[in-house]
RNA sequence: GCCCUCAUCGUCUAGUGGCCUAGGACAUUGCCCUUUCACGGCAAAGGCACGGGUUCAAAUCCCGUUGAGGGUACCA
């Protein structure tokens, strides 16, 4: 058995969609699991949909998620070029070869005529299909039209009889009546190939052994198989992955919110979380583990275990994964990753050790990196808050004043600036005042953080330092006295 | 319309004829921990789309129905 070779073949139309990236992931995992090669190929055969900078967005996204490739437009390889717009001659040559063999033909029909034809067919409740008007043009007629500069396309001559079937790795046997397959355009009038021609030619010459792609391609697979047969090539093995769906079960699209990989990065998702989540959309291991690193996925992934049914992209689960990874990476690492988000919010931590200490306190509360500023801002500036925040439920102004004054006294007199001593001293203080610990700890915490929810009072006090803590207590006391 | 594909808790899924009284995770609810919010722990609720077969035995096999998704372009 020869080496597995798979490819991710996106068209450069912008920030890659998470659904496409999930397909890329499955390709990548299959390649790494089998010790095969993972190839990136840019399918830029549609000049209309091209978007500037897409190649880079694709490379960035793959790299960000940790998927590296063995051959591609940027790094080359034995079957370069890996950008279809640079292989036009090859496609044209093969289209012509099929015309020569009588398996494809020139078509001079205008877009308008095709449109009209389809409308009539639809009105008659028939499947829209090319009517083969140009199938029987004579050599002379064809030559005359070409010489006259008439635009043309080349169409595959699909047999009207028989069936075409294939064994899908995920779905098993899939079969189509040839009579429902249209005479697909192979070469467009602008000289570019259609996807169908280009991917078959490239997959053949690039030695692709397994075509792993989304379910939406099932219906075009018979056309591809016919092409392999027409050229006399052995088709690769096919595996059609389930679709990634929106919560309403429709195709996940922009109207459902974030769909691009870069969007998720900007929203504060960790690549580890996105990878783990995406891998579990349509695949599950044999055991009940939920947490897998990319390497562990490579180890465990089996194409045969991929599900058939479409999977809804569940943000809740993604959030859980993200929170999980945030809690489990090193604090130092997390601090570095929050930096861009903090800076964007105008928080510029100049003391790295201090930042790490602060991050440690919010690590188990953070669901995504974008929350870092609102979780951490009070560590870097005096917080704004309503005085009422200083008064916990079942307490009152006077008690809070008393408590805060006592805090000042206790903290100022504390020699050992560490957790246990502070806790002991403050709890004792509450006892002396005859109030519950919550009646002293809530005001303290609120005075320091300005938030109803935050890390614990002792931890925050410790990190903020004696001087800052006392200053904030003064401000709190002042606010309560207004 | 036609063609293809699919169908287990709300969601992602385990399950390949008896280990299923259908397991796990997310979400939800309750309790515990607790100065708050989280985290963590414990518990609860919640599912084999429907109808026929086959079989001693079916979530698992077959047929049909329904529903959902995809395709039906000189887009990929």
Query: How large is the ipTM?
Result: 0.96
pLDDT tens digits for A23-75? 999 999 999 999 999 999 999 999 999 999 999 999 999 999 999 999 999 99
pLDDT at residue A213, rounded to an integer: 98
Positions of CATH 1.10.8.70 in chain A: 330-379
Catalytic residue status for A157: no
pLDDT at residue A394, rounded to an integer: 83
CA-to-C1' span, A325 to B26 (A):
15
Assign a CATH topology to domain A330-379.
Answer: Helicase, Ruva Protein; domain 3 (1.10.8)
Q: Are A313 and A281 in contact (CB under 8 A)?
A: yes
| Measured distance CA(A13)–CA(A44) in Å, rounded | 9
Domain A87-241 has CATH 3.40.50.620: yes
The low-confidence residues of chain A, meaning pLDDT below 70, are 1
DSSP 3-state of A163: strand
CA-to-C1' span, A392 to B36 (A):
9
The contacts of residue A23 (CB under 8 Å, 6+ apart) are A8, A212, A213, A214, A241
pLDDT at residue A12, rounded to an integer: 95
Which bases along strand B come within 7 Å of a protein CB atom? Answer: 1-8, 10-15, 23-27, 35-40, 68-76
Selecting among A93, A143, A254, A308, the annotated active-site residue is A254
Assign a CATH topology to domain A387-481.
Answer: Arc Repressor Mutant, subunit A (1.10.10)
Q: How is residue A260 annotated by DSSP? A: B
Q: Which nucleotide is nearest to A113 (CA to C1')?
A: B74
pLDDT at residue A1, rounded to an integer: 57
Q: How is residue A462 annotated by DSSP? A: H
Q: Are A462 and A425 in contact (CB under 8 A)?
A: no
Positions of CATH 3.40.50.620 in chain A: 5-84+244-312, 87-241
Alpha-helical runs (H) found in A236-330: 261-266, 271-279, 294-300, 315-328
Positive or negative, the CA dihedral A393, A397, A398, A402 is positive
Positions of CATH 1.10.10.350 in chain A: 387-481
| Measured distance CA(A192)–CA(A233) in Å, rounded | 22
CA-to-C1' span, A309 to B20 (A):
23
Assign a CATH topology to domain A5-84+244-312.
Answer: Rossmann fold (3.40.50)
Q: Are A150 and A220 in contact (CB under 8 A)?
A: no
CA-to-C1' span, A102 to B25 (A):
56
Alpha-helical runs (H) found in A124-220: 139-147, 195-205
Alpha carbon dihedral A174, A178, A183, A184, in 10-degree steps, equals 10
Q: Which nucleotide is nearest to A214 (CA to C1')?
A: B70
């Amino acid at each position: 058995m020869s080496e597995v070779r798979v490819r991710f073949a996106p068209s450069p139309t912008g920030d890659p969609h998470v659904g496409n990236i999930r397909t890329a992931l499955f390709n990548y995992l299959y390649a790494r699991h089998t010790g095969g090669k993972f190839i990136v190929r840019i399918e830029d055969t549609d000049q209309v949909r091209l978007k500037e900078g897409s190649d880079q967005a694709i490379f960035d996204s793959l790299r960000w998620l940790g998927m590296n490739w063995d051959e591609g437009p940027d790094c080359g390889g034995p079957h370069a070029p890996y950008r279809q717009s640079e292989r036009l001659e090859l496609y044209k040559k093969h289209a012509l070869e099929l015309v020569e063999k009588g398996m494809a033909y020139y078509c001079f029909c205008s877009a308008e005529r095709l449109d009209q034809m389809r409308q009539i067919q639809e009105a008659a409740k028939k499947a829209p299909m090319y009517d083969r008007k140009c199938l029987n043009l004579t050599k002379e007629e064809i030559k005359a039209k070409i010489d006259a500069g008439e635009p043309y396309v080349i169409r595959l001559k699909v047999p009207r009889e028989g069936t075409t079937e294939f064994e899908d790795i995920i779905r098993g046997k899939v079969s189509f009546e040839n009579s429902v397959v249209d005479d697909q355009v192979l070469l467009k009038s602008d000289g570019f190939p259609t996807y169908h021609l280009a991917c078959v030619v490239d997959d053949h010459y690039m030695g692709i052994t397994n075509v792993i792609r989304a379910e939406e391609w099932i219906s075009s697979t018979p056309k591809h198989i016919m092409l392999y047969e027409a050229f006399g090539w052995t088709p690769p093995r096919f595996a059609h992955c389930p679709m990634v769906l929106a919560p309403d079960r429709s195709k996940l699209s922009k109207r459902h919110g974030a769909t691009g990989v870069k969007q998720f990065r900007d929203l504060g998702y960790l690549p580890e979380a996105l990878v783990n989540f995406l891998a579990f959309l349509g695949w599950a291991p044999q055991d009940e583990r939920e947490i897998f690193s990319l390497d562990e996925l490579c180890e465990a992934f089996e194409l045969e275990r991929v599900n058939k049914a479409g999977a809804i992209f569940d943000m809740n689960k993604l959030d859980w994964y993200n929170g999980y990874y945030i809690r489990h990476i090193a604090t130092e690492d997390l601090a570095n990753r929050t930096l861009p988000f903090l800076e964007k919010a105008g928080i510029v931590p100049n003391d790295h050790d201090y930042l790490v200490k602060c991050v440690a306190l919010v690590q188990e509360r953070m669901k995504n990196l974008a929350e870092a500023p609102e979780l951490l801002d009070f560590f870097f500036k005096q917080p704004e808050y309503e005085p009422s925040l200083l008064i916990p439920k079942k307490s009152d102004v006077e008690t809070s004043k008393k408590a805060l004054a006592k805090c000042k006294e206790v903290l100022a007199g504390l020699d050992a600036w560490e957790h246990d001593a502070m806790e002991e001293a403050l709890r004792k203080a509450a006892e002396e005042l005859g109030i519950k610990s919550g009646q002293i700890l809530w005001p303290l915490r609120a005075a320091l953080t300005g938030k109803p929810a935050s890390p614990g009072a002792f931890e925050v006090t410790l990190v903020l330092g004696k001087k800052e803590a006392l200053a904030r207590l003064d401000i709190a006391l002042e606010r309560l006295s207004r």
